[in-house]
Amino acid sequence: MKASGNQRPTMTYKKSAPPLTEEQIAHFDTHGYLVIDLGLDENFIAALLTKVESLYPDDRLQNPTAPARVQDAWKTVDEVRQLAVLPIALAALEQLFGRAALPFQTLNFPIGTRQLTHSDTIHFNSIPKGFMAGVWVALEDIDASNGPLQYYPGSHKLKEYTMQDFGLEPGYENYRHYETHIQALIEAQALTPEFGTIKQGQALIWHANLLHGGAAQTDLSRSRHSQVTHYYFENCTYYTPMNSRSDKPHFRNPFWIPATHDFDLPDVGRLAILRRIARSLGIKTA
């Protein structure tokens, strides 16, 4: 079983001095999450929000219940990229996982997600397992009424459930059935949720196997601006469990979010054409 993957970045990320105490590391190990203060400047946050706002759907203010998010805004909004590679976040992740963190995806939200409970290990995983994390940054104060993150402390210690564990075929078309099984698991385990009511500039780091989702947003007149960055870690192979079988992982070849603003994006269209040509010639590709 062989994967072709961008396993080592060509750039060097800046990291701060190790920011976490032994108590904070122990909290993460026990509960599967940790809240830290990133020390963000208010002007930086304001600039990020202003630039990302133009990327959201035009009608979102007329329909506050409609889902709205922007994936990988780091490609066009440099403040999003800067937040994804923030030295204190990278240093904290390295303390928690013992390997250098590699950011590969950003998601920006203007409102609460109301996303059903899941584990990120159904979307992203690694070989060896366990080297993936999410960092959710509050870009404004978040409380119980504007749609906080909902998570289940300690659930990261459960097994990593796959589609096959629930008798499901791989593929996003079966994801809603996965969500149903996860909800049944929560009820069977009598798990109790907590909520990410954190202040602007704070971040909640979660373990990939922590069960989490988006709580209801009861005040639809309010925003809930936030950014999620997903990270893998160095010296791993990466794959998508939702599209995998136990004997056939669906490998990923992440493009790491650049450490600096002067970068070139890969020519995805050209790569796709080359892969199709290779497959037509019987050459295996990722």
CATH number of the domain within which 149 lies: 2.60.120.620
Total Cβ atoms within 10 A of residue 57: 14
In a domain, 35, yes or no: yes
Which pTM does this prediction carry?
Answer: 0.89
| Structural tokens at position 178 | 């996965």
Q: What's the order of all strands across the beta sheet hosting 132-138?
A: 33-37, 202-207, 132-138, 226-233, 101-109, 70-71
Domain-located, residue 115: yes
* Torsion from C-alpha of 243, 258, 149, 55, nearest 10 degrees: -90
Phi, psi at 52, each rounded to 5°: -75, -30
Candidates 215, 209, 180; CA nearest to 196 is 215
Q: What is the pLDDT of residues 55-81, one digit of tens each?
A: 998 777 667 677 789 999 999 999 999
Strand, helix or coil for residue 71: strand
Task: Give the angle subtended at the CA of 17 by the CAs of 109 and 130, to the nearest 5°.
Answer: 55
Reference 241, options 153, 141, 174; nearest CA is: 174
> Domain span at residue 222?
22-280
Domain membership of residue 196 (yes or no) is yes
Residue 36 lies in a domain: yes
The answer to whether position 254 is within a domain reads yes
Alpha helix segments (H runs only) across the chain = 22-31, 42-53, 78-84, 87-97, 175-189, 268-280
Of 270 and 4, the one with more pLDDT: 270
From the number of C-beta atoms within 10 Å of its C-beta (0-12, 13-18, 19+), residue 77 rates as buried
Confidence of residue 113 (pLDDT cuts 50, 70, 90): confident
Beta bridge partners of residue 25, listed in sequence order: none
Report angle CA 250, 207, 105 to the nearest 5 degrees.
55
Is there a domain that residue 228 lies in? yes
Is 179 inside any structural domain?
Answer: yes
Per the listing, tokens 């208010």 go with 42
Q: Is residue 7 part of a domain?
A: no
**Per-residue pLDDT tens over the stretch 170-228:** 999 999 999 999 999 999 999 999 999 999 999 999 999 999 999 988 998 899 999 99
Give one word for 39, left, alpha or beta, with left for phi > 0 and alpha for psi -120 to 50: left
N- to C-terminal Cα separation, the chain? 11
Split into its structural domains, the chain has a count of: 1
Rounded to the nearest angstrom, the gap between the alpha carbon of residue 178 and the centroid of all alpha carbons in its chain is 18
- Tell me the mean pLDDT in the region 33-54: 97
| 48 pLDDT more than 60 | yes
The answer to whether residue 6 scores a pLDDT higher than 60 is no
pLDDT at position 268 is 63
In this structure, are residues 155 and 211 in contact, taking their beta carbons and an 8 Å threshold? Answer: yes
Span 224-282, pLDDT tens digits: 999 999 999 999 999 999 999 988 999 999 999 999 998 888 876 555 555 566 555 65
